[in-house]
Amino acid sequence: MSISMYELSVPVFSRYLGNLMQQLDKGAAYASERRIDESVLPGLRLFPDMFPLSKQVQIACDFAKGASARLAGVEVPKFDDGERTLAELGARCARTREFLASLRAEQFVGSETRTIDITAGGQPVQFVGLAYLSGYALPNFYFHLTTAYNLLRHAGVALGKRDFIGG
């Protein structure tokens, strides 16, 4: 049995973005219960030179939609990075999942050997599809997803491993 590039990407991205949406909802409930202004949690950072929670969520969404679009051979959707609340960040995750749901497995046929050209760190980088997904897109997606989880957890939101991995 072989596993398709579609199966390795779209359902994985969608599942974990759904989990992130639930974490953001828990964060919003936590902030509301404690009368924390809704703009505070999205601005949290683990360290001053790291991106805040809002940017971590935006980048996770960008990796999910960007990798999936490139592998499917379609235009990468552009989203403005204007989210300032946890609800707005959750809506960004939902828009990303809607885009992912529009993709079909047939679009990914042959993408494991497709050339993927991106800009990373201001430099052009070229990948072959499977290496792009497994060695670049998924690790970056999980990094930013995990950092978002850690920021919420550090703020006191009652999250556990099941919140990250899902049911």
Express each pLDDT in 61-109 by its tens digit: 999 999 999 999 999 999 999 999 999 999 999 999 999 999 999 999 9
Helical ranges in 34-160 per DSSP H? 53-72, 86-102, 129-132, 138-154
Query: For position 87, what pLDDT does the model report?
Result: 97
Mean pLDDT of 109-132: 97
> Structural domain of residue 61, as residue ranges?
5-165
Those residues whose C-beta lies under 8 Å from the C-beta of residue 102, and which sit 6 or more positions away, are none
Residue 167 has pLDDT above 80, yes or no: no
Structural domain total, the chain: 1
Residue 75 confidence (pLDDT):
97
Q: Which of 104, 129, 107 shows the shortest CA–CA distance to 118? A: 129
pLDDT value of residue 49: 96
Is residue 124 very low, low, confident or very high in pLDDT (cuts 50, 70, 90)?
A: very high
With a threshold of 0.85, does the pTM exceed it? yes
pLDDT more than 90, % of the chain: 98
Q: What are phi and psi of 128, to 5 degrees?
A: -95, 145
The enclosing domain of 127 has a CATH number of 1.20.120.450
Which pLDDT score is estimated for 1? Answer: 65
Q: What is the pLDDT of residues 23-50, one digit of tens each?
A: 999 999 999 999 999 999 999 999 999 9
d(CA 141, CA 145): 6
Give residue 2's pLDDT band: very low, low, confident or very high (50, 70, 90). confident
